[in-house]
Structure 1
Amino acid sequence: MNAKKLMLVGLPMIAVTYGLSRFSFGLMIPSINETMNIKPTTSGLISSLSYVAYCIAIVLAMVFSNKITPKSILVIAGFSSIIGLGIIAISPNPLILGLGVFLAGMSTGYSSPPYADIVSKNIETQLQNKTNSWINSGTSIGTASTGIIALVMADSWRETYVIFMVIAIFVLIGNYLVLPKKQPVEKISTVRFSKKEWKRATPLVIASFFIGVACSAYWTFSRDFLVELESMPVYFKDWLWVIIGISGLLGGTAGAFIDKFGLTRAYLLSVSALSTSSLILGLYPGNFLSGFLSPALFGSSYIFMTAVLIVWGITVFKTNPSFGLGIPFLTLALGQAIGSIFSGIVADLTGYHVLFIGASLLGYLTLFLKFKENKFV
């Protein structure tokens, strides 16, 4: 399969499942809160459902990767997104809203591992890192799209989710028509990995989890924080998600960066920038630094960092690309689920300033993980 053709359908699917179905909730929280009178603790809990759903779905995607075709899993991802977005749009209360967020969140877990498998089996080896990175950057497109649509639709969050659902339908149709129909499936009853692989995966799992905890505050509460700041210009509040999304396109260069400079440098650079974005928001709210530089750093470094985790995981678990992508994304989502709940509690007790400063410090701690260079190559 042609790499560009795969990216042409893969990037929009990731945009829908990650940007529209999952991360858009953080953008809509201020408007939803006004409609349903939801407190930060409740918002954090509902947001965590998306990550819990992601964890469940990504495990299912890995388990069934050797039993059904990647295309079938991606069709399930598309339907999960469509149904979840529809439920969110008509939700009359927080309970139904949580159900919609949960189902929409499952689509993210179903969508990533199959693409890693398709890339591994259909794309030339020298193009695989770049292809995976650019498909992964669909998150930024989805995030920017949610921001732009939300700007046009103002506070009409229900209508916005209806538009998201329609987009998801067209993207699903595109993937169904383009993706390989008869990709061979290796029917293996039990997937086994060596102790050496699991040992090499330890720093990957630790890093993914704590990075997930650290960045969950930004995804869930960054816009709500800026909306509360009277000193923050309105255009920064309105364009926050667009800035995050557009800057995230820089994350598509991760594959080329890794090929040239190695995974260690790519990891250190992305995590440093990601942590700094939260620190800026906590220390310098209400001005240009927090309104533009912080989201620009966050968007570009988050997408870059997730691409690093993809390549790192596939490098560790060479025998199963779906598993290699699934493990770091699973632990990242576990961290985000726990972080979302914890962030809501911290925000209620101490305020957003402390929340974002604390999140940045936790991110910086992951820079001190002791791993050997040869674990990255």
Structure 2
Amino acid sequence: MKRPLQPSAPTAGPLFAVAAVTLIAATYGLARLGYGLFLPAFSASFELTPAVGGLLSSGASVIYCVSAGLGFVYAPRRPRLMTILAGTTAALGSAGIAAAPSTGFFAAAVLLAGMGAGFASPALVELVQRNTKPIHAAKRQSVVNSGTGFGVVAAGLLALMLGSSWRLAWALIAVIAVAGMLGVLRADVSRRHSTKGADDDAGRRERSGSRQRGLGLGELKWPLTAAFLYGVGCAAVWVYGRTLLEDQGGMPVALSAGAWIALGAGGAAAVLTAPWLARHSVRFTWPVTVLATAAATAAMVLAPGSTALAFAAAALFGLAYTAATSVLIIWATATASSSAAGTSALFISLILGQAAGAALTGALIEASGFGLAFAVAAAACGVSAAGVIARIKPRNTEDELRPSRATP
């Protein structure tokens, strides 16, 4: 059987990584997560009650799962098409928000903009695999995934500088999404090596050995559970963090937005963890990042009126969350037969967990206050970490769940 020639495998240059980070920043940090930061400005311009605003946020999560499901099916074979859909939906949705003449039009644009993130992750996971030597793949996956943090920083800065001119801000977001998409498509060198790409696919199937046929999702049972529990735990900060700082801590809006910029900066700094994530096993990196998320969640609720503690907790949360999602990508790559489909499945589980966590946290806040609600969220993260330690045996960690090395 013909073996793939690894030295001839196409390798994209730095432009590919920069463009991929830009696309993740645009689809996740801006088009998807930017909605919450601009919600006060949106509410002043449209008929958005808190209930309607919450329903839109939930709807965006459902739409994300739909687009991620499409990525699950098509990204392993058509990653460039999924990249086009990621950039196009994020750009058109953002442009629609910028030009929205009515509440109904605005709501439809928000949902369309949220689709981009679901397409982007599986598409870029597959393209990174195709454009990177195996020994560097785990590191580059983590670098690209850090784009979420850069996007959150950009969203926070836009909210502070252009809060009243939010239409201009969202027009700029549309431009960034298009630029990231075009950059990825242009820098993708795998498209010029279709024959070698086919050989590489055959090699990956050959190396899968005893893995089950198809996408290998049966082996993702525990990763899916861990991702869902983590989503339940991290929802408290994502959904109610700013409310905690403003209502309980008495922070002005500008200062709480600053905390979210710190959160984004922490997420962007996760790029520095890429070598560490590539060197260590999932059995070690998942508990560390998830427990760091739990610590940040607990720290934020302990003294919401302390600016220094709130900013530090937000930065730690952003760093830990982004690193943990990078671990999910590495986990999918090491476990599922298709890294793109596996990533889609884990991210869908994560988002569903966040949706469940948002509802649970909201109910607990109403019943018992922020303290208990955030404590339960931190505990959910702890259960996710403990479950992985208990279920993954060290000997498996040394082979199957270690980031990819060079092919022998």
Give TM-score, length-normalised by structure 2: 0.82
More deviation in 156-165 or 266-275? 156-165
Q: 363, 367, 371: which one pairs with 2:391? A: 371
Match of 1:163 in 2: 172
Q: Are 1:280 and 1:289, in contact at CA under 8 Å, matched by a contact in 2? A: no
**1:60 lines up with 2:70 in the alignment:** yes
Q: How do 1:102-181 residues align onto structure 2 when only pairs under 5 Å count?
A: 102-180=111-189, 181=191
- How far apart, CA to CA, are the structure 2 residues paired with 1:356 and 1:3? 43
Cα 1:280–1:156, aligned 2, differ >3 Å: closer, same or farther? farther
- How far apart, CA to CA, are the structure 2 residues paired with 1:121 and 1:347? 46
Cα 1:231–1:340, aligned 2, differ >3 Å: closer, same or farther? closer
- How far apart, CA to CA, are the structure 2 residues paired with 1:343 and 1:91? 32
Q: 88, 105, 130: which one pairs with 1:79? A: 88
Q: How do 1:263-342 residues align onto structure 2 when only pairs under 5 Å count?
A: 263-317=282-336, 319-342=337-360
Which residue identity is paired with 1:99? A
After TM superposition, give the deviation of residue 308 of structure 1 in Å: 0.5
Which secondary structure state, in structure 2, belongs to the residue aligned with residue 76 of structure 1? helix
Structure 1, unpaired ranges of 5+: none
Moved over 6 A (4+): 185-188
- How far apart, CA to CA, are the structure 1 residues paired with 2:104 and 2:352? 21
Please list the CA deviations of residues 221-280 of structure 1 after superposition, one character each: whole Å capped at 9, or x if unmatched: 322332335633665313122111111123223431133332222111110111122212
- How far apart, CA to CA, are the structure 2 residues paired with 1:26 and 1:194? 41
After TM superposition, give the deviation of residue 40 of structure 1 in Å: 4.2
Q: 49, 52, 56: which one pairs with 1:46? A: 56
Q: 23, 26, 36: which one pairs with 1:13? A: 23
Q: 29, 36, 41: which one pairs with 1:31? A: 41
After TM superposition, give the deviation of residue 115 of structure 1 in Å: 1.5
- How far apart, CA to CA, are the structure 2 residues paired with 1:265 and 1:44? 36
Which residue identity is paired with 2:147? G
Q: Are 1:253 and 1:304, in contact at CA under 8 Å, matched by a contact in 2? A: no
More deviation in 83-92 or 227-236? 227-236
Which residue identity is paired with 1:139? T
Q: Are 1:44 and 1:344, in contact at CA under 8 Å, matched by a contact in 2? A: no
After TM superposition, give the deviation of residue 99 of structure 1 in Å: 2.2
After TM superposition, give the deviation of residue 146 of structure 1 in Å: 0.6
Which residue identity is paired with 2:222? P
- How far apart, CA to CA, are the structure 1 residues paired with 2:327 and 2:151? 20
Q: Are 1:82 and 1:169, in contact at CA under 8 Å, matched by a contact in 2? A: yes
- How far apart, CA to CA, are the structure 1 residues paired with 2:186 and 2:131? 16
After TM superposition, give the deviation of residue 39 of structure 1 in Å: 4.7
Structure 2, unpaired ranges of 5+: 1-10, 203-210, 403-408
Report which of the two structures shows the higher radius of gyration computed on alpha carbons: 2
Q: Are 1:50 and 1:102, in contact at CA under 8 Å, matched by a contact in 2? A: yes
Cα 1:138–1:337, aligned 2, differ >3 Å: closer, same or farther? same
Match of 1:4 in 2: 14
Q: Are 1:254 and 1:308, in contact at CA under 8 Å, matched by a contact in 2? A: no
Q: Are 2:234 and 2:354, in contact at CA under 8 Å, matched by a contact in 1? A: yes
Q: 372, 380, 400: which one pairs with 1:362? A: 380
- How far apart, CA to CA, are the structure 2 residues paired with 1:175 and 1:78? 10
After TM superposition, give the deviation of residue 325 of structure 1 in Å: 1.6
**1:22 lines up with 2:32 in the alignment:** yes
Corresponding residue pairs, total: 372
**1:98 lines up with 2:107 in the alignment:** yes
Please list the CA deviations of residues 135-182 of structure 1 after superposition, one character each: whole Å capped at 9, or x if unmatched: 000001101011111111134333322221222233233233322445
Q: Are 1:87 and 1:100, in contact at CA under 8 Å, matched by a contact in 2? A: yes
Q: 264, 267, 278: which one pairs with 1:245? A: 264
Cα 1:177–1:329, aligned 2, differ >3 Å: closer, same or farther? same
Q: Are 1:48 and 1:336, in contact at CA under 8 Å, matched by a contact in 2? A: no
Which residue identity is paired with 2:22? P
Cα 1:124–1:196, aligned 2, differ >3 Å: closer, same or farther? closer
Give TM-score, length-normalised by structure 1: 0.89
Which residue identity is paired with 1:54? Y
Which secondary structure state, in structure 1, belongs to the residue aligned with residue 33 of structure 2? helix
After TM superposition, give the deviation of residue 94 of structure 1 in Å: 5.4
Which residue identity is paired with 2:378? S
